[in-house]
C-alpha cells in the first residue's frame, strides 16, 4: 500500500509541474499588439500585471515621459524592472483610446486611469489625458514618447 501512495504522490507532483509550466507559458505570452491602440491597452495591462513582456514595447534606448506635473523622465527597461521588483501597487488601464497612424508612426490619445501607490495604500484612481507616440520597428510597436496632462 505504501508503494501506491508513493506513486500517487509522484503523479500529483508531475501534474503540478505540468500545470505550472502551462501557467508560466501563458503568463509570458509576449505577443506584440498589431495596432497602436491595442498596444496602448496592452502596455497598461502588462504594467499592472508586472509582466516583463511589457518590455517589448520599450525600445532599447528607452523613451521620454512628461508626467502630470510637467517633469520629464527617461524610462527604459531598467526602470520597469525596478518598478516590478518594488513592493508598490501598480494599477493602470486606458480608456477612450483613439489612434491615428501615419506610415510607421502612430499618435494615440486617451485617458489613463490609476497609478502607482505604496504597499497597503488605497489604489490610485487618478485620471490623466495621455498622448503617446509609437513607432513600428522590429516587427512591433514601440513607445517613443508619452505626455500626460492632469484632468480636473
Q: Comparing 103 with 20, which gets the higher pLDDT?
A: 103
Q: Note the pLDDT of residue 26.
A: 41
> Strand (E) positions, 2-88?
63-66, 72-75
Q: Is 129 within 8 Å of 147 (Cβ atoms)?
A: no
136 vs 141: CA distance, rounded Å = 4
Q: Is 117 within 8 Å of 101 (Cβ atoms)?
A: no
Residue 145 has pLDDT above 90, yes or no: yes
- Supply angle C-alpha 72, 146, 78, rounded to 5: 70
* CB atoms inside a 10 Å sphere around CB 126: 15
| Average pLDDT of the segment spanning 75-94 | 94
CA torsion through residues 135, 76, 128, 49, sign: positive
Q: Note the pLDDT of residue 122.
A: 81
Residue 117 has pLDDT above 60, yes or no: yes
pTM value is 0.78
| Average pLDDT of the segment spanning 69-74 | 95
Q: Note the pLDDT of residue 111.
A: 97
* CB atoms inside a 10 Å sphere around CB 97: 20
Amino acid at each position: 500500500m505504501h508503494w501506491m501512495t508513493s506513486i500517487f504522490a509522484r503523479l500529483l507532483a508531475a501534474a503540478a509541474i505540468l500545470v505550472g509550466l502551462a501557467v508560466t507559458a501563458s503568463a509570458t505570452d509576449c505577443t506584440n499588439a498589431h495596432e497602436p491602440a491595442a498596444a496602448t491597452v496592452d502596455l497598461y495591462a502588462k504594467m499592472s500585471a508586472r509582466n516583463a513582456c511589457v518590455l517589448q514595447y520599450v525600445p532599447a534606448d528607452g523613451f521620454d515621459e512628461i508626467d502630470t506635473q510637467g517633469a520629464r523622465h527617461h524610462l527604459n527597461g531598467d526602470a520597469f524592472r525596478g518598478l516590478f521588483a518594488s513592493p508598490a501597487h501598480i494599477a493602470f488601464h486606458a480608456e477612450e483610446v483613439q489612434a491615428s497612424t501615419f506610415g510607421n508612426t502612430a499618435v494615440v490619445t486617451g485617458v489613463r486611469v490609476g497609478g502607482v501607490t505604496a504597499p497597503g495604500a488605497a489604489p490610485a484612481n487618478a485620471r490623466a489625458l495621455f498622448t503617446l507616440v509609437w513607432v513600428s520597428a522590429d516587427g512591433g510597436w514601440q513607445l517613443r514618447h508619452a505626455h500626460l496632462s492632469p484632468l480636473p
